[in-house]
Amino acid sequence: MHKEARESAIKALISKMTLEEKVSQLSYTSPAIERLGIPAYNWWNECLHGVARSGIATVFPQAIALAATFDEGFVREVAKAISDEARAKYNEAIKQGNRGQYWGLTFWTPNINIFRDPRWGRGQETYGEDPYLTSRIGLAFVQGLQGDDPEQLKTAACAKHFAVHSGPENQRHTFDAQVSKKDLFETYLPAFKLLVEAGVEAVMGAYNRTLGEPCCGSTYLLQDILRDEWGFKGHVVSDCWAIRDFHENHRVTAAPEASAAKALNAGCDLNCGCTYPYLTVAYKQGLVSEAAIDTALTRLLRTRFKLGMFDSPDQDPYRGLGREIINGEKHRALALEAACKSIVLLKNDKSLLPLDERFKHILLLGPGAANPHTLLGNYYGLSPRLVTILEGLAGKVQDKYGINLEYRQACLQYEANHPSNLIFGEAHEKDLIIAVFGLDGAMEGEEGDAIASDSNGDREAIELPPWQLAYLRKIRAEGKPLVLVLTGGSPIAVPEDIADAILFVWYPGEQGGAAVADILFGDRSPSGKLPITFPASTAQLPPYDDYALQGRTYRYMQEPPLYPFGFGLSYTSFRLGYAGASLLSAKELKAGDTVQVRVQVSNTGNRDGEAVMQVYVAKDPPGAQDPIASLRKFERRFIHAGETLELCVELPSSAFETINEEGLSVLVPGSYKVIVADAAPLPVAVERGATVPVSETIRVR
């Protein structure tokens, strides 16, 4: 339907509705209005890393793992596959008359909050700690979900949770996030701004208050910034039952009708929860106008029209997508590729990996090896083809008749073994131990879902659980080569000497076990990069409920981390060098200019591999409030052994801008370093075998 015809149809529908009918359409369970031809619709659907909670779907690696690929094009391809399955599921549901929850086309994805503190259980849902990486990966995901036509959406994506939301989980219904305007506009909002400018269809408000106002009823966030400053045209949805928190927990209103009015008047169009039915009471009390109700309803109907819900079936370009594509061979292969690209090699002393004929007797142990929950993370679909790490390794060695693989659970996932069962000594006759330890979705996640967590899904400490570490120390003492495979959605601090090689595999999705086996045995070279800093210990972290960025993330952290943002080793080696006489195409820059960054990347090893080059900008010298460095570009490239590629990226003058204390972006004259590296530059030296960076200074006028 053409835009003009659509707007006329929306206006005509609203003119025929009673007030009660209008209000009924502002809740996530929108009932049918049969006399007007409006079908029932449930707005709640999830697809964080695959269509979730509606049966069979391809389960891709968790969101934080997708960020670890540092590959926008690939993430867009994953999201496109997810939207294909979403349309196929919707088509089948409509045929069966199923208009229930989790079967629609409005997806409350992606989560583009900043993973500012590694204790946050929901950090696994994000794209990490960096605003630029989060912006680019989030944009790619939205593009894959929504398709190429902004007036005819494939699915509707939603940027969440707006804004300044990252725990603590046990305080999210009462917490007031206090943040400076510099941190707000420099770190917490850039990803939302980019996605809004790119046409994301929806924005979800957060549970917490920010700067005193509940986010789902904040005039400053929803009106002043989102609509007036950024020009957002889509709809805003509350987080689920967040508006009820206004009167029950935040205590900024006294009754449900006042909460409903506050949210609607601030610009929240759709209520996931039970409060908006009170808008009829609020209207009678003069707290809201019918015009405000009509505005919200117009935005919601516009989304449904753009999704084709009022078109005839023959106008639907996605009508051919059927159940045969759901978890089909092509998407399973894509899930395997995603897992392989996301796995991060953190340590590889004496090139222990990849495994080869040196090791005839391998012992696989650890609570994560046969635990399918280590594949899933949270917000997942169901797959009949989950490949655990045990299954992946068993499948890998079944044709390697010279290798004997044994498996022991060894230790419990969530608590220490009973003292009578602390048996060691299994490794003394083995050539190699592969230990699978770490976390799963019962230990970290959203409030209410992480059933093994003592802190509502958050982690009180980032160290490996002590009972797991104690068992590892006993095994380590046996003196055998040890490969540690860590699962989890957030940083895990481990002693540097605990293993000879360490792989961080995240929650790698349905093909995770196959991917781990491919990496361990060298069928694939690891190429994932950390989208979040791994601190050395919990003691390095500022207070969890402090939203100031000082001391947090690679951009402001002053202490040496265990592993820096952007870090990840390979089975080959890379060298950086100048592509010509200079790294930069210009020595000076002014507002509106663009500078080219030209660098040579050489694969100096004997294996093909993928390099992820990262371009950082740093004020030289930095001011007291300046970040140490900020990621401004990244690019992943496949490079054959012995090959040299020349990479060229452009940095606009905005890449050198600074957010001041008033929250304004300004271009401050002075000297800046442009640094090309494969990990974030740090204020202190941390030697982890990363490629030596190259840098050059440019003068900004």
Q: At what angle do helices 131-146 and 190-197 cross, to 10 degrees?
A: 30
Q: How far is CA 122 from CA 240, 492, 528, in A?
A: 15, 15, 21
Question: 646: helix, coil or strand?
Answer: strand
Q: Is 210 helix (H, G, I), strand (E, B) or coil?
A: strand
Report d(CA 322, CA 154) in Å as an integer.
Answer: 14
Distance, CA of 362 to CA of 385 (rounded, Å): 25
Cβ neighbour number for residue 447 with a 10 Å cutoff: 20
Pick from 645, 499, 617: which is nearest to 130 by CA?
617
Is beta strand 209-210 parallel, antiparallel or unpaired with respect to 658-659?
A: unpaired
Q: Is 241 left (phi over 0), alpha (psi -120 to 50) or beta?
A: left
Cα 682 to the center of its chain, rounded Å: 24
Q: Which residues are catalytic?
A: 239, 444
Cβ(127)–Cβ(65) below 8 Å: no
433 has which bridge partners? 363, 482
Q: Helices 72-95 and 131-146 meet at what angle, rounded to 10?
A: 40
Angle between helices 329-342 and 512-520 (to 10 degrees): 50
Residue 424 in tokens:
């060691």
Nearest to 205 by CA among 219, 215, 195, 220: 215
Q: Are 259 and 247 in contact (CB under 8 A)?
A: yes
The two three-digit tokens of residue 469, written as one number = 């570490």
Tokens of 28: 């996530």
Q: Is 693 exposed, middle or buried (0-12, 13-18, 19+ CB in 10 A)?
A: middle
Structure token digits, residue 336: 């395997």
Are 525 and 570 a contacting pair, CB within 8 Å? yes
DSSP string covering 536-569, please?
A: S-GGGSPPTT----TT-HHHH--SPPSB-TT--B
Tell me the Ramachandran region of residue 484: left when phi exceeds 0, alpha when psi lies from -120 to 50, beta otherwise: beta
Q: Is residue 16 exposed (0-12), middle (13-18) or buried (19+ Cβ within 10 Å)?
A: exposed
| Dihedral sign (CA 164, 486, 345, 608) | negative
Distance CA 405, CA 390 (A): 10
User: What are the structure tokens assigned to 362, written together?
Assistant: 């391998």
- Backbone conformation region of residue 314, classed left if phi is above 0, alpha if psi is from -120 to 50, else beta: alpha
SS3 445: coil
Helix extents (H) in 346-484: 373-376, 389-397, 466-476
| Consecutive H or E run containing 437 | strand 432-438
Q: Which two tokens stand for residue 436?
A: 């699978």
282 vs 276: CA distance, rounded Å: 9
CB of 545 closer than 8 Å to CB of 592: no
Q: Are 62 and 123 in contact (CB under 8 A)?
A: no
Quote the CA–CA distance of 249 and 481 in Å, as a whole number.
53
d(CA 114, CA 694): 28
For the chain, the straight-line distance linking the first and the last C-alpha, in angstroms and rounded, comes to 50
